[in-house]
Structure 1
Amino acid sequence: MSQSRYDVLAVGNAIVDVLSPATDAFLESQGIPKGAMNLIDEERATSLYADMQPGKEASGGSAANTVAGIASMGGKAAYIGKVADDQLGEIFTHDIRAIGVDFDTPPLKNGPATARCLINVTPDAQRSMSTFLGAAALVTEEDVAADADKLRASSIIYLEGYLFDREEAKRGYVHAAELAAAAGKRTALTLSDLFCVDRHRAAFRHLVANHIDILLANEAEITALYETEDFDEAVRLVGRDVGVAAITRSEKGAVIVRGDEVVSVAAAPVSQLVDTTGAGDLFAAGFLLGLARDLSLEDAGKMGVICAAEIISHFGARPETDLKSLIEAGGIDLE
């Protein structure tokens, strides 16, 4: 087991999630791309929120969901993210600390409001996200440096691809990876979204090849990253670039790659498919905690698919069942 103070420290967009049921007709009338994430401004966020059905609000963001999942399994997690000095910022801070995640990034003053993600979930469980990034996008190299001691005390540093739009965040990611490498710790990256890959392919490729030890992606993202329609070719290429890659394939489970070694992990049973929000985030929670606890690739992958199966069986991106019990029922010992 890792002797680090934290299993995982994540850097990402600190966002308050608003999840609401929706129809395909509503998405079309609002011009919302189905099953993807699109960025909106504060005015659009206000008008869309007013038109959505009543929903569920909770602190969120991709990497925040991941560390929340880690904490729910009894893991030790920390988080770096930027909220504003406003009511939503206070809600985010209270929520993430209440679930056991160490979060101390100073709030932004005299700037944009705390971010929110308006998630419309259709009956086929697809989630269509309209995101106002606000303060969340303003994470800087200075924010990373301020938590340097926490980075050095973490087994794995986890970087969220959604945060990669601004140059300040890119510099912060490189700084985080350099701090991790100097301390003998591993840096992980999630590609987050196909649109992220399309926007930042060259920069992602450089980051992956030079600073990333563990890469997480889904099938569409990994083939887009390497500009190939051949999944096996993408697997070969990513095995060349990083120490470990975990690629999720929905109902096909996941493929874990380490050099020439390829491990296939079957999807875990799902009681009912309700909402795919957070499936990748919770896969990352299980997989990264497994790696941090020095489990085998197969067991870490199993942890990932078990966590993902739980999260898609209900509304929202936070677990409603004791994940640690589910993991132990799958024959995996986290102690």
Structure 2
Amino acid sequence: MSQPSYDVIAIGNAIVDVMAASTDALIDDLGMTRGGMTLVDTERAHALYAAMGPAREISGGSAANTLAGLAALGAKCAFIGQVADDQLGEVFAHDIRAGGIAFATPVRSGEPATGRCLIFVTPDGQRTMNTFLGASQFLPPAALDEAAIADAAVLYLEGYLWDPEEPRAAMRKAIGVARGAGRKVAFTLSDAFVIERHGADFHAMIETGDIDILFANEHELAALTGESDFEAGMASLAGKVPVLVVTRSEKGAVAIAGGERAHVAAEPIARVIDTTGAGDLFAAGFLFGHVRGRPLDQCLKLGAVCASEVIAHYGARPEADLKALVAGIAG
């Protein structure tokens, strides 16, 4: 098998985050589920945007955020995702390429517009997300760069994008390409609502060995396994996935790989500003360690450090020097 040109190639939603501070009362008034992620249509997106306070626009999307962290750590990355031929599409493409990530997916003309996520951040740092998927849900299998997928050590797939039919077909095709090239497939479950709709697919992929690295938080673990007890949920998947990584917010994270189990505590932080992207950046740190052959506990530590950086400021992309932050971690 040839040496890969990319460490990680990801397929995910190409979205621009629109973020604003919010009160708990506003969350209630707008009928949102606090701390959750809800898919919205064009009309609802316009209504929520009108109700927001002063906002910041930052390119986002779960898998794209993970790549931003990986690239900041020094990994070679590529992204596949669909934007429209519009201003936000140009913003997204500029931002991801400026981060040193290869992005060559052709733009899509006409409606719908480029996706955006309207994020309301309450004083405790909790984020309530309302996602208009827009053009991102129309990523066709024909848009895949199969040569790039075959030339990446890890194919990383975003669970959010499993919901729409067209990109789901694209990701199934991408798994086949990666498998055919002898590469690894990593999958992040993204949200409990995705599991409710497509849990049977995910179980089938686990049973057939299509997932080498599975990322989840403890709520997603419970939703996927049907086990309310954390240890029971871990036990039900540990022997079926080569690498299982589960984050637990302030309780840290646990990983099981090849019979080895490791735990990392959450990094201490003076104040949580915004939890947007915490899981995405945790995955970035973990994958960075994994593709470089680091021990399991070091992979978890890298993830925890990257997650702690992103929750200390607004936005889901790193602002501090991640290389400097992880420099003291052995390896």
- TM-score of the pair, normalised by structure 2: 0.97
How much has 1:269 moved relative to structure 2? 1.7
CA distance in structure 1 between the aligned counterparts of 2:4 and 2:47, rounded to whole angstroms: 45
Partner residue of 1:205 out of 199, 203, 206: 203
Give CA-to-partner distance per residue, 1:174-199, whole Å, 9 cap, x none. 21111111111100000001111122
* Residue of structure 1 equivalent to 2:171: 173
Secondary structure in 2 matching 1:236? helix
Q: Which amino acid aligns with 2:159?
A: G
Q: Which amino acid aligns with 2:201?
A: A
Secondary structure in 2 matching 1:32? coil
The alignment status of 1:30 with 2:30, answered yes or no, reads yes
Which 10-residue stretch deviates more, 35-44 or 260-269? 260-269
- Residues 299 and 332 in structure 1, CA contact (< 8 A), matched pair in contact too: yes
Partner residue of 2:155 out of 157, 169, 172: 157
Q: Which amino acid aligns with 1:113?
A: A
CA distance in structure 2 between the aligned counterparts of 1:68 and 1:296, rounded to whole angstroms: 23
* Residue of structure 2 equivalent to 1:184: 182
Q: Which amino acid aligns with 1:154?
A: A
Counterparts of residues 211-250 of structure 1 (less than 5 Å): 211-250=210-249
Q: Which amino acid aligns with 1:68?
A: A
CA distance in structure 1 between the aligned counterparts of 2:63 and 2:268, rounded to whole angstroms: 24
Give CA-to-partner distance per residue, 1:194-240, whole Å, 9 cap, x none. 11112211112112332111000001101110111121111112112
CA distance in structure 1 between the aligned counterparts of 2:217 and 2:156, rounded to whole angstroms: 16
Segments of 4+ in structure 1 off by > 6 A? none
How much has 1:139 moved relative to structure 2? 1.3
Question: 5+ residue gaps in structure 2?
Answer: none
- Residues 137 and 166 in structure 2, CA contact (< 8 A), matched pair in contact too: no
Alpha-carbon spacing, 1:293–1:259, altered in 2? closer, same or farther (3 Å) = closer
CA distance in structure 2 between the aligned counterparts of 1:208 and 1:138, rounded to whole angstroms: 25
How much has 1:165 moved relative to structure 2? 1.1
Question: 5+ residue gaps in structure 1?
Answer: none
CA distance in structure 2 between the aligned counterparts of 1:90 and 1:51, rounded to whole angstroms: 25
CA distance in structure 2 between the aligned counterparts of 1:270 and 1:208, rounded to whole angstroms: 35
* Residue of structure 2 equivalent to 1:254: 253
* Residue of structure 1 equivalent to 2:54: 54
- Residues 93 and 103 in structure 2, CA contact (< 8 A), matched pair in contact too: yes
* Residue of structure 1 equivalent to 2:193: 195
CA distance in structure 1 between the aligned counterparts of 2:111 and 2:98, rounded to whole angstroms: 26
* Residue of structure 2 equivalent to 1:119: 119
Q: Which amino acid aligns with 1:299?
A: Q
How much has 1:168 moved relative to structure 2? 2.2
Secondary structure in 2 matching 1:332? coil
- TM-score of the pair, normalised by structure 1: 0.95
How much has 1:259 moved relative to structure 2? 4.0
* Residue of structure 2 equivalent to 1:303: 302
Secondary structure in 2 matching 1:16? strand
* Residue of structure 2 equivalent to 1:39: 39
CA distance in structure 1 between the aligned counterparts of 2:182 and 2:211, rounded to whole angstroms: 13
Q: Which amino acid aligns with 1:194?
A: A
Q: Which amino acid aligns with 1:223?
A: A
User: Once superposed, what is the RMSD of the aligned Cα atoms?
Assistant: 1.2
CA distance in structure 2 between the aligned counterparts of 1:12 and 1:25, rounded to whole angstroms: 32
CA distance in structure 1 between the aligned counterparts of 2:3 and 2:312, rounded to whole angstroms: 34
How much has 1:50 moved relative to structure 2? 1.6
CA distance in structure 1 between the aligned counterparts of 2:160 and 2:290, rounded to whole angstroms: 23
* Residue of structure 1 equivalent to 2:314: 315
Q: Which amino acid aligns with 2:66?
A: T
CA distance in structure 2 between the aligned counterparts of 1:138 and 1:297, rounded to whole angstroms: 36
Secondary structure in 2 matching 1:328? coil
CA distance in structure 2 between the aligned counterparts of 1:209 and 1:263, rounded to whole angstroms: 23
* Residue of structure 2 equivalent to 1:324: 323
> Number of residues paired by the alignment?
329
